[in-house]
Amino acid sequence: MNILADILSATLLFAVPLLLVALGGMFSERSGIINIALEGIMVIGALISTLLLRAFDLSGFGPANPQLAVLIAVLAAGLSGMLYSLLLAFASINLKADQTIGGTALNMLAPAFAVVLTWAIQGQGNTTILIPGWVRITAENAGLAGAEGFFARLVFKSLYLTTPIALVLMAVSSFIMYKTRLGLRLRSCGEHPQAADSVGINVYRMRYIGVLISGFLGGVGGLAFTLAAGSGFQSQVAGYGFLALAVMIFGNWKPLNIFGAALFFAFFKIIGSYSGSIPFLPDFKEIRSSEYIYLMLPYIVTMIVLILTSKKSRAPKAEGIPYDKGAR
Amino acid sequence: MSEYIIEMLNITKSFPGIKANDDITLRLRKGEIHALLGENGAGKSTLMSVLFGLYQPDSGTILKDGAPVKISSPNDANALHIGMVHQHFKLVEVFTVLDNIILGAEKTRWGVLRKDEARRRVVELSERYGLKVDPDARIEDISVGMQQRVEILKMLYRDNEILIFDEPTAVLTPQEIDELMEVMRGFAREGKSILFITHKLAEIMKVADRCTVLRKGRLIGTVDIADTSREKLSRMMVGRDISFNVEKKESAPGEKVLEVEGLTVPSRLHKKNAVKNVSFTVRRGEIVCLAGIEGNGQTEFVQALTGLEKAGSGSIRLKGREMTDMPIRERSRLGMSHIPEDRHKFGLVLDFTLEENLVLQRYWEEQFQHCGHILRRPVREYAQRLIEQYDVRSGQGAQTIVRSMSGGNQQKAIIAREMDKEADLLVAVQPTRGLDVGAIEYIHRQIVAQRDAGKAVLLVSLELDEVMDVSDRILVMYEGEIVGEFDPRKVSVQELGLYMAGAKRDDKKEAV
Amino acid sequence: MKKRATMPKGALNLTASLVSILAGLLVGFILLMIFNFDKALYGFGNIVLTGLRTPDRVAKVLYTAAPLLMTGLSVGFAFKTGLFNIGASGQYTVGAVLALVGAILWQLPWYACILLGMIGGAVWGAIPGICKALFNVNEVITSIMFNWIGLFSANLFLYNSPRMLANAWGAINKDRTAALDKANPSAILPKLGMDKAMGSNYMNISIFIAIIAAFVMWYVLQKTTFGYELKACGYNRNASRYAGINDKRNIVLSMVIAGALSGLGGALYYLSGTGQFTMGKQLLSMGFNGIPIALLAASHPLGTILSALFIGYIQVGGEALQPEFAKEIIDIIIAAIIYLSAFSLLMRELILRGRSRRRQAEEEKSRQAADTVEE
């Protein structure tokens, strides 16, 4: 039973960054901009927020107010991701540059920048930013000391503030997308920007909003990933930005489906780490370094799922196409 | 109070290199139906886009009720109660009718949509004006006629008083056109003012009070309909007398070239078939026209015929040879040429040069390549011959990038390429769409010339005038079926309209 | 006539690329100043000058440029067909490993190993191509997945092939492949005495092979029906189908060729005999650097030669940055160059469009004049 709780808990832990980032991709693509830069945005968000956590740790503010410090770090992650995504928005909306190329540039820039900055701050060769221990929420500091059993284990095995925040953000995203004026207008810009323009909607503004929201969610997702990965920030997020794009496609650009897709992928990611403790899973004893089999698993599953769902998936119609107001 | 509700005075608007509007003045009276007449490219749409706030004029002023106003966005136009039904509908296909109507004019509380109120108002408006729509249907699932009603409701929902209709009849059946005219008259009676953009003279004579004519970006004049005639208007529009009829000899049909039998094509949009059990033949020396309203399966039929999509069942034979499942290249070799519906999407590689486009259907022939190496000189010579023969004009001759050419010349390049193939069957889909009268006459003459040279021609057209003028035989398609076959000399436009709208059908399924 | 029509476009491309390069270098200089003001000028001098200081640095530039040229060609070739091959890294990895298998396990000579490398890359490129052609799965996502799958399978394979690893050939390392001078000297690319002439063990024929490949690609794209079909597909997939071109086959073929080019790049790099393949958990950056190279060259195969030499040049310069600065500054410069070249693509287009509009206007005028006469 414990192992089940552990697996579910870890699945949720790794689903959170995928969920956040895929939701980010959804906002951007629904407004008409393909955001392939999410990987880079995650790196920037993680970089700034882990540096902040480190500063809080050194100054003593963190240990004294742990969850307040984390909350500030979450906001910093989101805002820095937002700021970074401005570069994508500017290139693809105002300058109408190729969205994939601009995004690729940002993906290359972010890790290089992170290494250079970490190096400059922590000194030569010291390229890992460690996460302070007080960041985690345990049963004790949640005021539930002594909580035992399946659910306690499931909840507190590896709980960070990012998890409840992500769940709230998902609900909010869903509400915004389908119940508000902003959502309606955003979606219209991704489907038929000319129609939106003709009824007085500022397409550029909507697309900026879409990209900036995705930057915020991507940045928070970067922090969530780093917390989940557990070994500190090493200037990279291991392709999770791209996995999140696959999650978004699998989730058909819809918030709840994306949540399901994120859990699905996270499960395949986790199953590898627990392969030794799950009796029915092969442990590939005769193969050396069999961890690579499990490392590959999420990517292979992603491929298969993408192929299977390709017929049904329906991307926003105008995504990737720059909107030119003056075009005749 | 001014006599005019809207005055556009001395409007000039240039695009890089082209003066789309040159010192144009147009005055709209309250409660009138004012037609704006001109050929494609005369500047009608530009002028209306200026009024609707999509473009800023380089010079000139706009007055509303005698006072100058500045319209720099559709929002400003909306605030002045100006609304527009665009020629290409501005509707989000995956949204519902209701969402499309409220988009941009949403009623909200703290940013949250209040759709119930909006729905009540839409239902009320649709009942009051007889514009039947289902608020919860998705745009992609409803007919073109209903989509137009949604566009009209969009204007009414915004309390617009000045209504611009940009070529609203192009997609409608004659009966639907009559209904639309009635709706327009109703609006005018209520005191709404209507600007009606068109190039169809009959409609103007029927419904408009006054008419302003544009030609090549310039104002030719404004006339009262009561004092003018069709002929006068057409002379104002084109600048010379035009023959309304295509001159051609009697057709002399020969052997069968194309035989279609029981052809069924599944739809890509929904589960039903887009083309249902269609059978007919086309013989040498005749022009058979497939008429119908947009979206009744013509596109799918042509795609199956030309090999762009797979047919569901049935058979297609060309000169007696089965070609239902043949690859496109094979069909082309066997003797089919195809002027596609959408010249930018299918007909041309816009970033290729003109010569590269002119050999698009035959670059693989022995004369143009040797062991996979393209022979530049023969390609150039061939292109030059076509350019001369078909009078294709471009900046740098054979080396012009096609994207930089005018629409008419792009279409001429396609016509040159497809006609020069000397194929036994010519499939021409809306070959004159968006062209001016001169180009249309030219293309019609070429099509008749193909027929007289003993080719079989299948013309797919949405323009009833074209259908009546050019064809030797008319097949009407409705919801994927052929519902009637006619001799253009013995049928009226009204009669055809009834078939196109599905109101009448012949049970005789086998058209021969 | 022909010269006049094409020359300005080439010059335009060159200008646009030069502008983004200069701007990118400026970004780098500013960063250097921010991190270490005193050493900034010295560091920048290293970036810009190192590559030409000594013959052995020149050799290092050529050695670095060869695989970069191949991945640049790979990305550029796919671009011409309308595909974004972000999977060059995986193709490069698989190509490299297969070439090394030929060299170490099968003891094949260098040219056979090169061929194996191309096959490896081609297979790895084919898969995203097939997914795109048959299932319409976005090739960007697929190739990224296959970068990771390629890297992990390469590691998995090498860890399970003891004969491949350095420790089987007299060294102690278990995390990298055997050095070729120990395992199979005949698999090392010929040096033709150039190594002695330039005083560098890095000098070999790889750059010449890469340049030949660039010319072959240029010929294929410009002069053959196959290239015509590929470009037609890239510009307008619908129109190419309409013309009877098998678009699906062309998409797959284009990815196969792009993959083979990347695979060749991997083979050239590791068959130089100077580097050993190390099993890590990071994607190899060589493949990603093909993207800026292709963009700088506007995907033109011959332009790619120049841009690969440039990127190789500043990378060699970047190595001289350490320890005062992180060598990743170079990556920032390259990223800045791509970001800026995305603009320059736009600038280029705007200038061209402005021209064609003017031309159209003239045409229009002459036509109107003609019409007036008719009236």
Whether B104 and A179 lie within 8 Å, measured CB to CB = no
Enter the DSSP assignment of C179.
Answer: P
Calpha distance C213→C76 (Å, rounded) = 13
Calpha distance A279→A266 (Å, rounded) = 20
Least confidently predicted of A129-143, A295-309, B236-250: B236-250
Calpha distance B410→B400 (Å, rounded) = 11
**How does pLDDT run across A213-258, given as a tens digit for each residue?**
999 999 999 999 999 988 889 888 988 998 899 899 889 899 999 9
**How does pLDDT run across B354-389, given as a tens digit for each residue?**
999 999 999 999 999 999 999 999 999 999 999 999
Calpha distance C98→A87 (Å, rounded) = 39
Smallest CA–CA distance, residue B47 to chain A, in Å, is: 13
**How does pLDDT run across B396-439, given as a tens digit for each residue?**
889 988 988 877 889 999 999 999 988 999 999 999 887 777 78
Q: What is the mean pLDDT of residues A67-92?
A: 95
Q: What is the mean pLDDT of residues A31-48?
A: 95
Phi and psi at B302, nearest 5°, equal -65, -40
CATH (domain of C109): 1.10.3470
3-state secondary structure of A87: helix
Most confidently predicted of A281-285, B15-19, B351-355:
B351-355
Residue-level pLDDT at C347:
65
Residue-level pLDDT at C75:
95
Q: What is the mean pLDDT of residues C278-296?
A: 86
Phi and psi at B457, nearest 5°, equal -125, 130
Q: What is the mean pLDDT of residues A101-108?
A: 89
Whether C332 and A113 lie within 8 Å, measured CB to CB = yes
Question: Exposed e or buried b for every residue in A254-281, given b needs 16+ CB within 10 A?
Answer: bbebbbebbbbbbbbbbbbebbeeeeee
> With bands split at pLDDT 50, 70 and 90, how would you rate the model's confidence at B441?
confident
Residue among A182, A191, A196 whose CB faces B111 most closely: A182
A254 CB-near residues (< 8 Å, 6+ apart): A26
Integer-rounded Cα radius of gyration of chain A: 20
Whether C145 and A112 lie within 8 Å, measured CB to CB = no
Query: Do C111 and C241 fall into the same domain?
Result: yes
Calpha distance B337→B335 (Å, rounded) = 7
Residue that has been written with the tokens 């060699």 in this structure? C316
The beta strand positions in B309-418, using DSSP E, are 313-318, 321-322, 336-339, 369-370, 373-374
**How does pLDDT run across C311-330, given as a tens digit for each residue?**
999 999 988 887 778 888 89
What is the percent of chain C where pLDDT is above 70? 89
Residue-level pLDDT at A318:
86
| Residue A230 C-alpha from the chain's centroid | 16
Q: What is the mean pLDDT of residues B328-343?
A: 92
Query: Which value, to the nearest 10 degrees, does the dihedral of the CA atoms of residues C197, C200, C201, C203 take?
Result: -70
Is C374 within 8 Å of chain B by CB? yes
Residue C303 lies in a domain: yes
Calpha distance B289→B214 (Å, rounded) = 32
User: Residues B288, B294, B298, CA angle at the centre, nearest 5°?
Assistant: 45
Q: What string of H, E and C letters represents the secondary structure of B293-356?
A: CCCCCHHHHHHHHHCCCCCCEEEEEECCEECCCCCHHHHHHHHEEEECCCHHHHHCCCCCEHHH
Mean pLDDT of chain B: 89
Residue of A nearest to B98 (CA): A184
Contact (Cβ atoms closer than 8 angstroms) between residue A266 and residue A11: yes
Calpha distance B186→A89 (Å, rounded) = 47
> With bands split at pLDDT 50, 70 and 90, how would you rate the model's confidence at C375?
very low
Q: How many CB atoms lie within 10 A of CB B134?
A: 14
Which two structure tokens, joined as six digits, stand for B167? 């070529």
Q: Which residues in chain C are closer than 8 Å to B394, comparing Cβ atoms?
A: 363
Q: What's the half-sphere exposure (Cβ side, CA atoms, 13 Å) at B482?
A: 25
Least confidently predicted of A109-118, A282-291, B228-237, B470-479: A282-291
Residue-level pLDDT at A328:
36
Calpha distance A320→A31 (Å, rounded) = 10
Q: What is the mean pLDDT of residues C261-285?
A: 91
Is C236 within 8 Å of chain B by CB? yes
User: Residues B164, B465, B172, CA angle at the centre, nearest 5°?
Assistant: 45
Residue C230 lies in a domain: yes
Contact (Cβ atoms closer than 8 angstroms) between residue A127 and residue A150: no
Residue among C243, C358, C368 whose CB faces B216 most closely: C368
Q: What is the mean pLDDT of residues C81-91?
A: 92
| CB burial of residue A236 (10 Å; 0-12, 13-18, 19+) | buried
Domain B256-335+422-500 in the same topology as domain B4-238: yes
Residue of B nearest to A178 (CA): B113
pLDDT above 50 (res B323): yes
ipTM, interface predicted TM-score of the complex: 0.87
**How does pLDDT run across C31-54, given as a tens digit for each residue?**
889 888 888 898 899 899 988 888
pLDDT above 70 (res A280): no
pLDDT above 90 (res C217): yes
Residue-level pLDDT at C263:
97
> Is beta strand B287-291 parallel, antiparallel or unpaired with respect to B473-478?
parallel
Calpha distance A123→B138 (Å, rounded) = 60
Query: Do C12 and C131 fall into the same domain?
Result: no
pLDDT above 50 (res C370): no
Q: What is the mean pLDDT of residues B498-510?
A: 74
Q: Which residues in chain A are closer than 8 Å to C136, comparing Cβ atoms?
A: 310
Whether A296 and C138 lie within 8 Å, measured CB to CB = no
Residue of B nearest to A198 (CA): B74
Contact (Cβ atoms closer than 8 angstroms) between residue C239 and residue B349: yes
Query: Do C179 and C48 fall into the same domain?
Result: no
C164 CB-near residues (< 8 Å, 6+ apart): C100, C101, C104, C105, C158, C177, C178
Domain that holds residue C241: 56-320
In total, the C-beta contacts within 8 angstroms joining chain A to chain B are: 67
Whether B86 and A187 lie within 8 Å, measured CB to CB = no
Which two structure tokens, joined as six digits, stand for B475? 């097949």
Residue C360 lies in a domain: no
Which two structure tokens, joined as six digits, stand for B394? 């471009």
Between B329 and B235, name the one with better pLDDT: B329
B241 CB-near residues (< 8 Å, 6+ apart): B231, B234, B235
Query: Do C269 and C244 fall into the same domain?
Result: yes
3-state secondary structure of C374: helix
From the list A248, A274, A327, A298, the residue with the least C-alpha distance to A29 is A248
Whether C152 and A295 lie within 8 Å, measured CB to CB = yes
Topology of domain B256-335+422-500, per CATH? Rossmann fold (3.40.50)
pLDDT above 50 (res C2): no
Whether A181 and B84 lie within 8 Å, measured CB to CB = no
Whether B352 and C231 lie within 8 Å, measured CB to CB = yes
Residue of A nearest to B76 (CA): A200
Q: How many CB atoms lie within 10 A of CB C39?
A: 15
Between C352 and A298, name the one with better pLDDT: A298
Query: Do C219 and C252 fall into the same domain?
Result: yes
From the list A3, A28, A1, the residue with the least C-alpha distance to A207 is A28
Q: Where are the alpha helices (DSSP H) in B213-278?
A: 230-238
Q: What is the mean pLDDT of residues B225-241?
A: 84
Domain spans of chain B, in order of start: 4-238, 256-335+422-500
**How does pLDDT run across A49-62, given as a tens digit for each residue?**
999 999 999 999 98
Predicted TM-score of the model (pTM): 0.85
Residue-level pLDDT at A55:
94
Integer-rounded Cα radius of gyration of chain B: 24
Q: How many CB atoms lie within 10 A of CB B203?
A: 18
Residue among A87, A108, A296 whose CB faces C149 most closely: A296
Residue C83 lies in a domain: yes
Amino acid letter for position B392: V
**How does pLDDT run across A126-140, given as a tens digit for each residue?**
788 999 989 888 877
Binding partners of A (≥3 Cβ pairs within 8 A): B, C
> Which residues are B214's β-sheet partners?
B219
Q: Which residues in chain B are closer than 8 Å to C242, comparing Cβ atoms?
A: 306, 308, 328, 338, 340, 346-347
Residue among C159, C282, C335 whose CB faces A109 most closely: C335
Residue-level pLDDT at B244:
56
Amino acid letter for position B267: S
Which two structure tokens, joined as six digits, stand for B337? 């040429």
Which two structure tokens, joined as six digits, stand for C45? 């001098």
Q: Which residues in chain B are closer than 8 Å to C245, comparing Cβ atoms?
A: 329
Q: What is the mean pLDDT of residues C19-27?
A: 89
Q: What is the mean pLDDT of residues C237-241?
A: 93
Calpha distance C217→C73 (Å, rounded) = 8
Whether C288 and A108 lie within 8 Å, measured CB to CB = yes
Residue-level pLDDT at C282:
83
Query: Do C263 and C335 fall into the same domain?
Result: no
Residue C369 lies in a domain: no
Question: CATH class for domain B4-238?
Answer: alpha beta
Which two structure tokens, joined as six digits, stand for C328? 């990743």
Most confidently predicted of A31-45, A281-295, B340-354, C327-341:
A31-45
Please report, for residues A194, A307, C166, C232, the alpha-carbon distance to residue B91 in angstroms, rounded to integers and kept in the order given.
9, 31, 65, 32
Where among C277, C300, C320 does a domain terminate? C320
Residue among B15, B93, B104 whose CB faces A191 most closely: B93
Which two structure tokens, joined as six digits, stand for B416? 């040159």
Q: Which of residues 199-218 of A touch B (CB under 8 A)?
A: 199-201
Contact (Cβ atoms closer than 8 angstroms) between residue B257 and residue B318: yes
Query: Do C82 and C189 fall into the same domain?
Result: yes
Query: Do C191 and C282 fall into the same domain?
Result: yes
Whether A199 and B95 lie within 8 Å, measured CB to CB = no
Is A317 within 8 Å of chain B by CB? yes
Q: What is the mean pLDDT of residues A278-305?
A: 78
